[in-house]
Amino acid sequence: MQPLSGLKVLDFSTLLPGPLATLILSEAGADVLKIERPATGDDMRSFPPFVAGESALFALLNRGKRSLALDLKNADAWATIEPLVRTADVLVEQFRPGVMARLGLDCDRLTAINPRLIYCSITGYGQDGPKADTVGHDLTYLAEAGVLAQAKLGAVPPVLAADIAGGAYPAVMNILLALRQRDTSGRGCRLDIAMAEQSLTFAVGGLAELWSTGKSPTPGGWLLTGGSPRYQLYATSDGRWVAAAPLEEKFWQRFCTLIELPAALCNDRLSPEATRAAVARLIAAAPAARWRALFAGEDVSAAVVMSLEEAVADPQIVARGVLAHRLAVAGREMPALPVPVTPGFRQTPGTATAPKLGEKT
C-alpha cells in the first residue's frame, strides 16, 4: 500500500509547477485527474522536444495521470465538475487570482460542498498584495526575490528553481501537512503558494549578510556564490570545468596538496584573489581527465562538471536505480522523471504513459 493510495486529486494546473506537484502525489499513489481545455489541452503539450508529435516534456510531467477534456467556461461544465469535487481530497490550480472564481470554482463554493477538500493555489505572487495579478515566470520570480543579484550575471540559470523548489515542492509539502491536519480536524483548508516569496529562501546567505551588516553582498561576493577560492568553477586545459568546493579546512588543505598549490597561498584569508588566481592557473594547466583521476577517492569535495549524458550514466545514479521507472511516449520508452519520493513509497519500477487529451472524458 502506497502512502497516498485512495487519495483523489483534481489537477487544473498547466506547464511545470502544478503538474510536477501532482506528479509527485501520483508517484506516491494518488489518483490524479487532469482537467484540460478541449482541443489544445495543457500548453505543455505544444512544447518541444517531440517524440512522434508528442511532447516529451508533457509526458515526463504527467506520467500516470488521467485526462478529462472540459471547457470550464461552458455553463454545463459544473454538472461534470460538481460530483468530482464531492469525492476529491485535493484540488491544485495555477491560474492567476480571481480566475477560478470567475469560472465558478472558487474555494468557498467548492469547500461548501466538500468541507474536507484541500484547495491549493500556486501563483507567482500569491492571492493578494500589489503584485498579485502580475504575470511572471521562473526567471522573473528569481529576479524579484533578490536571488539573481547574488551571482555574476551573464547567463540564464539552467535550473528552474522558482517553479520547482519555490512552487511544486512547497505545494506538495503543504498538501501533506494539510492532509495530516485534516486527520485531526476533519476539515480541509486553502493553501496559497507564491513562487516569488518562496524563492527568498534561496537567498539565505545574502539575507544573513543583509540582516547582520545592513548591506547586500556584491554579486558573486558571498562565500557560496564565488567570493572564496574554496567554492569556485575552474576551467581546465581542454575546455571543461572543475567544480571545487573544499570549504572545510581539512578538505582545503588536501586539495591544496593535490594540486600542488604553493604553501604561501594555502592561507586564502591573506589574499583570496591571489589564491583563486593561482588555483585557476594550476587547474588550467591540465585536462579534465587528470583532475578527475587525481580527486577520485580523495576527501576534497571537488569534481569535474559532467554533461547531462555523463550524469544520467553515472555509476551512482545507476546503482541506486534513480532512473529505474520508465515512460512510454509514442511507442518509445525512456526513463521517467526522477521525483523526490523515496523508493519504498513508489510502485515497483515499471513503464507508464502520460494521458491522451481527454481520454477519460
Catalogue the long-range contacts made by 144-149 (C-beta closer than 8 Å, 24 or more residues apart): 144/196, 145/196, 145/197, 145/199, 145/200, 145/202, 145/203, 146/200, 146/203, 146/206, 146/216, 147/199, 147/200, 147/202, 147/203, 149/206, 149/216, 149/219
What average pLDDT does range 209-231 have in this prediction?
Answer: 93
Q: Is the pLDDT of residue 191 over 90?
A: yes
Structural domain boundaries of the chain?
Answer: 8-201+323-353, 241-304
CB atoms within 10 A of CB 276: 20
CA distance 122 to 353: 25
Q: Is the pLDDT of residue 54 over 90?
A: yes
Whole-number pLDDT of residue 154: 79
C-alpha triplet 305, 230, 219: angle, nearest 5°: 85
Which phi and psi (to 5°) does residue 335 adopt?
A: -65, 145
Whole-number pLDDT of residue 361: 78
Domain 8-201+323-353 has CATH 1.20.120.340: no
How do residues 250-262 score in pLDDT, each as one tens digit? 999 999 999 999 9
Q: Is the pLDDT of residue 192 over 90?
A: yes
Whole-number pLDDT of residue 151: 87
Q: pTM surpassing 0.75?
A: yes
Whole-number pLDDT of residue 19: 98
Buried b (16+ CB within 10 A) or exposed e, 282-302: bbeeeebeebbebbeeeebbb
What average pLDDT does range 331-349 have in this prediction?
Answer: 95
Q: Is the pLDDT of residue 240 over 90?
A: yes
What average pLDDT does range 103-119 have in this prediction?
Answer: 98
Q: Which of 143, 338, 333, 303 is nearest to 232 (CA)?
A: 303
CB atoms within 10 A of CB 152: 11
Alpha-helical runs (H) found in the chain: 17-27, 56-61, 77-87, 99-102, 107-113, 138-144, 161-163, 169-185, 195-198, 204-213, 249-259, 263-266, 272-283, 288-295, 308-312, 315-319
Whole-number pLDDT of residue 200: 95
Which phi and psi (to 5°) does residue 222 adopt?
A: -80, 160
How do residues 266-298 score in pLDDT, each as one tens digit? 999 999 999 999 999 999 999 999 999 999 999
CA distance 200 to 207: 9
How do residues 295-327 score in pLDDT, each as one tens digit? 999 999 999 999 999 999 999 999 999 999 999
What average pLDDT does range 4-10 have in this prediction?
Answer: 98
Which residue among 76, 163, 192, 299 is the active-site one? 163
Compute the mean pLDDT over every residue in the chain, rounded to the nearest whole number: 96
Torsion of CA 98, 101, 106, 108, to 10 degrees: 100
Question: How many percent of the chain have pLDDT more than 70?
Answer: 100
Q: Is 163 a catalytic residue?
A: yes
Whole-number pLDDT of residue 155: 86
How do residues 148-181 score in pLDDT, each as one tens digit? 999 888 789 999 999 999 999 999 999 999 999 9
